[in-house]
Amino acid sequence: MMRFEPPSRREYIRDQKMRQGRRVFGVFPAQYPKEILWALNILPVEIWDPPVKTTRADAHLQPYICSVVRSGLELVLQGKCDDLDGFLFPHTCDSIQNLASIVNDYLGIEKPCYFFYHPKAHYGPSSRAYYLEQLRNFASTLGKRWGAVEPEELERSVSQGQQTASLVREAYDLRAAGTLGATNEEFYGVIRQGEFLHPDDFLPLMRNFLETSKGRSGSGSPVILSGVLPNPPELLRLLDELHVRVVEDDLLNCSRRLIVPPVSAADPFEVLTEQYFLMPPCSTREGSIQARLEYLFEKVERSGAKGVIFWIVKFCEPELFGVPQLVEEIKKKGLATLVLDSELHQGPSGQIRTRIEAFVEMMS
Ligand code: SF4
């Protein structure tokens, strides 16, 4: 059994509703102001890669839609979201927009659906004003149904968000420095519990993880993982088996939204705005290829990574768009690269395993 095995989501949700009196929202990828939900005593439970067999969603989606959207829709259609009190769809990409429209407009699901729109244009002063307004509108829209956001509650939530970011950052720093004794599977097993645990539970988990894992990382080839999310889990297991150490990542559901620098301001909405614009570059937000390259090279520099694995979810348009250019520039620096794409929960095939083994040999 893995250290820090996550609790069952179903039981955790039930417990949160019964014992804590919290409402629970299903939140689709990727970035959203979770602090506003916490302040309203709403628990966001993120839906990235539910382990469901897709049977019904195919009737609603084109064959070239990614499996993040496909499995999320399947979860809704199979009635596995019936316990939830609402849904939130951040405007991450066209596929999530499409999903939002199917769930909200066509399925006749009687649950409130909310939307959160990020600035998509090149960042400038107007984007900041726009984002700040989006935050306030989001809080006021939610407030109409779930009660007004109390300033003290929002301040508390923002503070918990910052403590979470600080602990996650520490885990990333230790790992990059080779002083975190955790396997790839353990590391992501813990970090990803933040996708559904309330900070009251996630903060102690992170502290415990850090306290018990400080030490020397195992030896092995250091790599950076880039893409959307560390799925299938078998990939991490395979990397552990081959003594490949993920020392950094550029994953949409991990460092690209979790590594937020500390910010202070009197108004919590200003803090959230400031934090948003300090997030790492991302293919789903403003993030030029040049900015992403610089970000990746910084990671290489601080971790001593010898290669980058682009593990892409099949049909993920925002990610696939930049990969050829990123690969070309990374190779020019003498680093090994490997590009793989697969569906969620599709364990590495024999062919993929062989390619990963060849990549490891190339690095050493
Ligand atoms: S995997 Fe890519 S296309 Fe699919 S929801 Fe995520 S960002 Fe959008």
Give DSSP secondary structure letters for 150-182: PHHHHHHHHHHHHHHHHHHHHHHHHHHTT-B--
228 ligand 1 Cβ < 6 A: yes
d(CA 84, ligand 1 centre) in Å: 22
d(CA 242, ligand 1 centre) in Å: 28
Whether a cis peptide bond, with omega within 30° of 0, leads into 232 is yes
For ligand 1, atom 3, the nearest C-alpha belongs to: 316
315 Cα nearest atom in ligand 1: 3
Rounded CA-CA distance 23/16 in Å is: 8
d(CA 247, ligand 1 centre) in Å: 24
Phi/psi-derived region of residue 138, left when phi > 0, alpha when psi is between -120 and 50, beta in every other case: alpha
Rounded CA-CA distance 168/272 in Å is: 17
316 ligand 1 Cβ < 6 A: yes
Mutate to test the pocket of ligand 1, among 67, 93, 250, 251 (most ligand atoms within 8 A of CB): 93
For ligand 1, atom 2, the nearest C-alpha belongs to: 316
251 ligand 1 Cβ < 6 A: no
Mutate to test the pocket of ligand 1, among 32, 92, 344 (most ligand atoms within 8 A of CB): 92
Encode the chain (364 residues) as per-residue pLDDT tens digits.
678 999 999 999 999 999 999 999 999 999 999 999 999 999 999 999 999 999 999 999 999 999 999 999 999 999 999 999 999 999 999 999 999 999 999 998 999 999 999 998 777 889 999 999 999 999 999 999 999 999 999 999 999 999 999 999 999 999 999 999 999 999 999 999 999 999 999 999 999 999 999 988 878 899 999 999 999 989 999 999 999 999 999 999 999 999 999 999 999 999 999 999 999 999 998 778 999 999 999 999 999 999 999 999 999 999 999 999 999 999 999 999 999 999 999 888 899 999 999 999 998 7
Buried b (16+ CB within 10 A) or exposed e, 20-30: eebbbbbbbbb
309 ligand 1 Cβ < 6 A: no
d(CA 226, ligand 1 centre) in Å: 14
CB atoms within 10 A of CB 234: 16
